[in-house]
Structure 1
């Protein structure tokens, strides 16, 4: 099965823990998926960086609904920092990406109830080889000469590293590859640093109650 084309879909699949059969508690899924959408639009030239804020540069059709929605949000709003856009609309964006992956046959989505009372959704991968392919892209980006790394793969590494996604890059792996991760983050644009700031802000807000 082919790997999905958009960065938000790829991040969603990477965030899934196949050993536990779910997303780990505390995974920064919403922030990473929003960051992935912004990075996708930036790398495609549909967003540019203007003084630390995304600006719509190309609103032609030809992108999927999730990316088109995020692009329209930016285009129709007053200028905001990248971090602000990562923090907005996380739940809706994750739900839309999940629907895309389900419709495309990459995941199975099943409603269920915890203890027979609390509604939730069970997500399973239809073909584990797709996620393994994505893991290979991350490994390749960390290993290959920087000049040969696809920009989308560079952004993928920047996002999972900034999101501290341990099922892809452990704390030790992030530490050992710190210099390369920084190179890939610089290569992929302003989203990686903005994601780190947003996750820190969300952690501080949670700690403060």
Structure 2
């Protein structure tokens, strides 16, 4: 079973040794966005003009995606009109992260460890158990960064999510952030996928900008 976009983003976020999540809040928005994008690519969800619609509730046979698809379908059914992407990301990002880390554990890519901070406060960490998937992922992203858009919509879509959530340092820690941002802007603006998919990506990027900006204001105020 292929690793999902959400799982790839979580692998980039989790520190290999300590298992702590880096850039936790922004990564959470991107994880939820990754699930949405996989559902768009699978023809189950459409995103247009910043709003979500479930177009086909048939299971994808990927447990992580099908769980979120069921939740999304039930939630959308209660709305009078198609809900905004920002509403779903705000509602689901914490649950999406939890479901994604559980999936990574079940795949044997990370392991769950219970620790105590200062010997007192219990925390859960997810250090690396099998690094082959993340190494392949990082190699694929580096190739795309240098060579530009590929015929793989998922890879370019992943770069678009990373760019939208400003997770440049997680994916490319050895490349100056400004250089990465400029390159990803160029790559994701190309004709790399069907117009519906690219439109969905643009809407999700805009939604992530809104929710991450709101998070920064909340934290600093």
- Place the TM-score, normalised by the shorter chain, in its bin: 0.7 to 0.9
Please, which moves more after superposition, 22-31 or 83-92?
22-31
Question: After superposition, where does 1:185-200 map in structure 2 within 5 Å?
Answer: 185-186=188-189, 187=192, 188=198, 189=201, 190-200=203-213
Give 1:118's aligned residue: 121
Unaligned runs of 5+ in 2: 193-197
Q: TM-score, normalised by structure 1?
A: 0.85
Q: Secondary structure at the match of 1:55?
A: strand
The answer on whether the counterparts of 1:54 and 1:74 sit within 8 Å (CA) in structure 2 is no
Which residue of the other structure, out of 47, 50, 71, is the alignment partner of 2:48? Answer: 50
Deviation at 1:71, TM superposition (A): 2.0
Please, which moves more after superposition, 173-182 or 84-93?
173-182
Give 1:69's aligned residue: 67
CA RMSD of aligned residues (A): 2.4
1:40-64 superposed Cα distances (whole Å, 9 cap, x missing partner): 1112221112332010011112232
Q: TM-score, normalised by structure 2?
A: 0.81
Cα pair distance change 1:184/1:74, threshold 3 Å: farther
Aligned residues: 205
Question: After superposition, where does 1:132-147 map in structure 2 within 5 Å?
Answer: 132-146=135-149
Question: After superposition, where does 1:80-119 map in structure 2 within 5 Å?
Answer: 80-119=83-122
Structure with the larger strand share: 1
Cα pair distance change 1:25/1:193, threshold 3 Å: closer
Which residue of the other structure, out of 30, 33, 39, is the alignment partner of 1:32? Answer: 30
Please, which moves more after superposition, 16-25 or 43-52?
16-25
The answer on whether the counterparts of 2:13 and 2:24 sit within 8 Å (CA) in structure 1 is no
Cα pair distance change 1:63/1:204, threshold 3 Å: farther
Deviation at 1:171, TM superposition (A): 9.8
Unaligned runs of 5+ in 1: none
Deviation at 1:170, TM superposition (A): 4.9
Q: 2: distance between equivalents of 1:57 and 1:21?
A: 37
Give 2:132's aligned residue: 129
Deviation at 1:6, TM superposition (A): 0.8
Q: 2: distance between equivalents of 1:13 and 1:75?
A: 27
